Amino acid sequence: MSTTKTLTQDEVSILLTAAVHAPSMHNTQPWRFEIDGPVIDILLDPERTLPASDPADRLTRIGLGAAAFNVRVAAALLGHESTFAIDPDPATPEVIARIFLADRGAPVPDLSSLYGAIGRRHTYRGPMTDQTVSPKVIQSLIEAARSEGAELRVLNEAQRSRLAGILQAADLLELRDEDRLHERARWIGGDRSTEGVPDQALGPLPVGPAAFRDLSAGFDRPHRGRAVFEETPAIMVLSTDSEDEPAWVQAGLALQRVLLTATSYKVAASFLNQVVEFPAVRNQVRNLIAATSWPQLVIRLGYPTQESGHTPRRPWNDALDHWH
C-alpha cells in the first residue's frame, strides 16, 4: 500500500464519521478501518456478524459496501477523486473494500452533493403519508442504483399484493427460529447508546395488515405504540446480476446511493428484508420480479408522518485499527 500524502486528522474524522453513518443489519456496524497514506481499507469485523440471520455474511457485506460509498461521498466533498477495489488482496480476505484517494482538489461534483444527506438519512419504521412518490424521484432512484451496478425495480399493485403473503411466510419462519430470536436479543430493543436498534427507533406497530417488519417480534414491548400504516406503500427491490461476495458489496454501494438520493428528496425508507433472508422465501421474491438477477434488499419508501428515533453509532475512532 502507498504511504504518500498522509491524511490529516480532520480529514480522517470527516471520512470515517461518514462511514459509520451507513446502515447495517440490526445496526451491528460490522466494520473496521485501516488507513495507510491515501488508502482506506474497510474490513469485516467478525465480532459483529449475525451467523444465525446472515450466515453467508451477505447483508453484512452490503453494510460494508454502504460504508465504502459514504467514504467516497465524504472524500468528494473534501476534493478527493476516489477509486475503489472490492476484495483487493487474496492474502487479506478480511479487507472487503479498498478506497484510493487522489490528490486533493476542488469538491467533486455529483458525489459531493450527497454529503448533506449522510447525517439525515436513517431507517424510518413508522407510517407514511398517502402522498405518492413522484415518477421523477423514482427515476432518480433507479438511476442511482444503476450507476453503482445494481437494478431497482418498483413493484406494481399485483406484485405488492403477492409480496404481502411472502412477508407473512417470512415472519412466521422468523418467529419459529430460536437461534435468530436469541441473536436479535443482543441487538434489538432497550436503551442503546452506541449500537443496535433501541426501542425508540423500532417505530409503532401497525393497527392492521401492513408492509412492515417488526424487529421486536417474539419479545414483549408493552409500551410500544400503534398506528395506521399507508394502504399502498411504494416498494422497490434492489437486485444484482451476480450472486457472490463482490456483488453483495456492490449492492451496498448502490443501496447507499439510493438512500442518500431519497433523503435529498425528503423521502424516507425502511426495509422488508425478512423476505430475502430465508433462501426459499427469497426465491419467491426472485420469481415475483420475474428476474434473472438476485434480489438483495426490499425497500419501502414514502413521506414520513411522524418523527422517528435514530439508531446510535459508535465513535469512528473505536473502529480504527491503525492509521499512518
User: Beta strands 320-323 and 268-271: pairing type?
Assistant: unpaired
Mean pLDDT, rounded, for 125-149: 97
Q: What is the pLDDT of residue 30?
A: 98
Mean pLDDT, rounded, for 212-232: 88
Angle, helix 279-288 to helix 157-175, in steps of 10 degrees:
180
d(CA 101, CA 110): 16
User: Residue type at 94?
Assistant: E
Yes or no: say if 152 and 301 are a contact pair by the CB < 8 Å rule: no
> Which residues have a Cβ under 8 Å from the Cβ of 6 and sit 6 or more positions away?
37, 38, 324
Q: What is the pLDDT of residue 219?
A: 86
Split at pLDDT 50, 70, 90, the class of 3 is very low
Q: Is the pLDDT of residue 5 over 80?
A: no
Helix (H, G, I), strand (E, B) or coil at 71: helix
Q: Is the pLDDT of residue 7 over 60?
A: yes
C-alpha cell at 322: 491503525
Distance of CA 218 to the CA centre of its chain: 24
Q: What is the pLDDT of residue 222?
A: 72
Helix (H, G, I), strand (E, B) or coil at 89: coil
Low-confidence winner among 13-22, 41-50, 96-105, 218-227 (lowest mean pLDDT): 218-227
Planar angle of CA 297, 300, 304, nearest 5 degrees: 145
**pLDDT, tens digit, 9 for 90 and up, residues 230-240:** 999 999 999 99
Residue appearing with cell numbers 459514504 = 70
Split at pLDDT 50, 70, 90, the class of 2 is very low
Mean pLDDT score of the chain:
95
Buried/exposed 280-292: b ≥16 CB within 10 Å, e otherwise: ebbebbbebbeee
**pLDDT, tens digit, 9 for 90 and up, residues 164-189:** 999 999 999 999 999 999 999 999 99
Q: Is the pLDDT of residue 1 over 50?
A: no
Q: What is the pLDDT of residue 221?
A: 74
Using CB atoms within 10 A of its CB, is residue 322 exposed (0-12), middle (13-18) or buried (19+)? exposed
Q: What is the pLDDT of residue 46?
A: 97
Q: What is the pLDDT of residue 266?
A: 96
Yes or no: say if 129 and 305 are a contact pair by the CB < 8 Å rule: yes
**pLDDT, tens digit, 9 for 90 and up, residues 49-62:** 999 999 999 999 99
Split at pLDDT 50, 70, 90, the class of 37 is very high
From 215, 18, 42, select the one nearest 120 (Cα to Cα).
18
C-alpha cell at 320: 480504527
Yes or no: say if 84 and 149 are a contact pair by the CB < 8 Å rule: no
- Say which DSSP state 275 is in: G
Q: What is the largest CA-CA distance in the chain?
A: 59
Mean pLDDT, rounded, for 193-201: 94
Q: Is the pLDDT of residue 195 over 90?
A: yes
Low-confidence winner among 56-60, 104-108, 127-131 (lowest mean pLDDT): 104-108
With residues binned 3-state (H G I as helix, E B as strand, rest as coil), the percentages for the chain, rounded to 5, are 40, 20, 40
From 132, 274, 225, 57, select the one nearest 284 (Cα to Cα).
274
Q: What is the pLDDT of residue 303?
A: 97
Mean pLDDT, rounded, for 141-162: 97
**pLDDT, tens digit, 9 for 90 and up, residues 243-271:** 999 999 999 999 999 999 999 999 999 99
C-alpha cell at 239: 437486485
> Which residues have a Cβ under 8 Å from the Cβ of 163 and sit 6 or more positions away?
155, 211, 235, 272, 275, 285, 288, 298
User: Residue type at 188?
Assistant: I
> Which residues have a Cβ under 8 Å from the Cβ of 230 and sit 6 or more positions away?
127, 128, 129, 130, 210, 302
Planar angle of CA 118, 123, 127, nearest 5 degrees: 135
Q: What is the pLDDT of residue 223?
A: 78
Split at pLDDT 50, 70, 90, the class of 79 is very high
Split at pLDDT 50, 70, 90, the class of 224 is confident
